[in-house]
Amino acid sequence: MQAYLQRFAPGELQGVYAASDESMIGARQAIEAANRKDLDGAFFSSDGQLQGLEAVADGFDVASSQFPPLYGEASLQAAIAVTQGVKLARTYWLDLKTFTCLTEAACNETKEYIAQLKATGMQF
């Protein structure tokens, strides 16, 4: 992110997609260190972990899509099925949950999930 911030002047970047919430958090730190206000609210990330969801609720990250723990459960079910001799399909589609604060209802859902994560000590 530091290299992008040096290469592109304020107003030249329209947004940032981070493949993980950790990457988004690192990029956010670089943006804050460079005192760049032009990218606030222009982030999208994946993972749906606690810190990423907090960035959504704070208005920094527009949305975070959650894959885990959905993959974990599906992987475990597939592993059990294989041990029982089941032939698996080559492709599986798993549900994806996206957290945002673009509407009041969506923001309330996001904040409720954050509270649930904190209450259980979980990150996802």
Range of the domain at 19: 2-67+97-116
Q: Does residue 110 have a pLDDT over 70?
A: yes
Q: Quick check: is 91 in a domain? A: no
Q: Quick check: is 90 in a domain? A: no
Domain count, the chain: 1
Task: Point out which residues pair with 61 in neighbouring strands.
Answer: 43
Q: Looking at the chain, which runs of residues are DSSP E strands?
A: 16-18, 43-46, 61-66, 97-100
The tokens 């957290």 sit on which residue? 99
Residue 102 tokens read as 């673009």
pLDDT at 39: 80
Q: Quick check: is 53 in a domain? A: yes
| Interval 9-23: pLDDT, tens | 998 988 888 988 889
Domain containing residue 106: CATH number: 3.40.50.2300
Q: Which of 66, 88, 64 is nearest to 76 (CA)?
A: 88
Quickly count: other Cβ atoms within 10 Å of residue 104's Cβ: 8
| Interval 31-87: pLDDT, tens | 999 999 888 667 888 888 899 999 999 988 889 887 655 566 677 778 888 889 888
Q: What is the spatial distance between Cα 39 and Cα 11, in angstroms, rounded to a whole number?
A: 8
Q: Quick check: is 28 in a domain? A: yes
Q: Which of 18, 20, 19 is nearest to 31 (CA)?
A: 18
3-state secondary structure of 103: coil
Q: Quick check: is 81 in a domain? A: no
CB 34 within 8 A of CB 60: no
DSSP string across 72-96: HHHHHHHHHHHHTTPPPPS------
- Choose the most confident range, by mean pLDDT, from 74-78, 89-93, 117-121: 117-121
